[in-house]
Chains A and B, each alone.
With several copies, the nearest count.
Chain A
Amino acid sequence: MRVKCPICGEPVEVPDDVLPGELIDHECGVTLEVLMDGNSIRLKPLEGIKEDWGE
């Protein structure tokens, strides 16, 4: 399955067995999060992850 990258506009290869929340690194450098609503798939740049947890 191919979906358009919301950042660079180029196609992104999405596996058929993709799960909600799955992350796909696109060749333009962005990490995309897979959002699923029923059978429709959207891609969104990954946000809201605190890297610096510390414990």
Chain B
Amino acid sequence: MIVVKVGGEVLARNLDGIVESVGRRADRGIVLVHGGGIIVTELCKRMGVEPKFVTSPEGLRSRYTDRDEIEVYVMAMAGKINKRIVSGLLSRGVKSVGISGADGPTAIAERKERIVIVDERGRKRVIDGGYTGRIVEIRTELIDLLLSNGFTVVIAPVAVDGKGNLLNVDADQMAFKLSSAVRADKLVMLTDVPGVLINNRVIERIRTNEVNEMIKRVGFGMNRKLMSAANAIEQGVKEVIISSGLVEDPLAHALAGGGTIIS
């Protein structure tokens, strides 16, 4: 059984290619975790929902998901993108089910109830933490049931907390935690780069004990992926492949060693 994560950039440029590639290997048992940040941003714009940012007392600026934005986020992720992938698989004869982490429930997250920010006047204030969550538990009952009955499972990066709040969770983190929880043979991360790059060369293989050294030499997004990959392998995933989602048949390419294998 393999978990595939595909980001919003890749979906925007190659949705059909991804769907085709996943569909061809559906009999292996595939859980596809999708992102879609670009599409959320675009939709927010169309609906006049302004992106909000907050500044922490340490000066760190970050995106803030308020009540309006989580609504758009859920619609775009669990509605638009998720169902487009499902119907694409279906048109290729692959039976699939699209869920979010709230269904089952499958992904339970914790939200920051309150956060401290520095406001426009330069004064510290405590505000509601918004609707971003950190996954604290994966329940595999629903996914196991669907996979063992031959369905390809497509998951939107939405989680739920104990109070029933829908939360925005990072799709990478969802893929890592999910692949650990279901003890996937492989986790394939399809990105818009060909793998882990150092001096413009793709590193073919990284052992978990080399990750700490490696993360100093790669960019910010990639170092988080590497740390999470090492973590997932410690939790029982056999290997993580970071590879391009923009090539012909991205899964064949990834499984044939095109990209970086972390093991």
Q: Give the B-binding residues of A (Cβ under 8 A).
A: 17, 19, 21-23, 33, 46, 48-50, 53-55
Contact = CB atoms under 8 A, between A and B. Distances in A.
Contact of A23 (B112, B113, B126, B173): B126
B134 interface: yes
Interface of B: 112-116, 119, 121, 123-127, 134, 170, 173
A49 B134 contact: no
Contact of B125 (A21, A50, A53): A21
B134 A23 contact: no
Given A53-B112, A55-B170, 13 more contacts: A17-B121, A21-B127, A22-B123, A22-B124, A23-B116, A48-B113, A48-B114, A49-B114, A49-B115, A50-B112, A53-B134, A54-B134, A55-B173
Contacts, number: 31
Nearest to B126: A21
B225 to A, nearest CB: 13
A23 B115 CA distance: 12
Return the 9 tightest CB-CB contacts between A and B, nearest first.
Answer: A23-B124, A21-B126, A21-B125, A22-B125, A48-B114, A55-B134, A33-B126, A49-B114, A21-B127
A46 B112 CA distance: 15
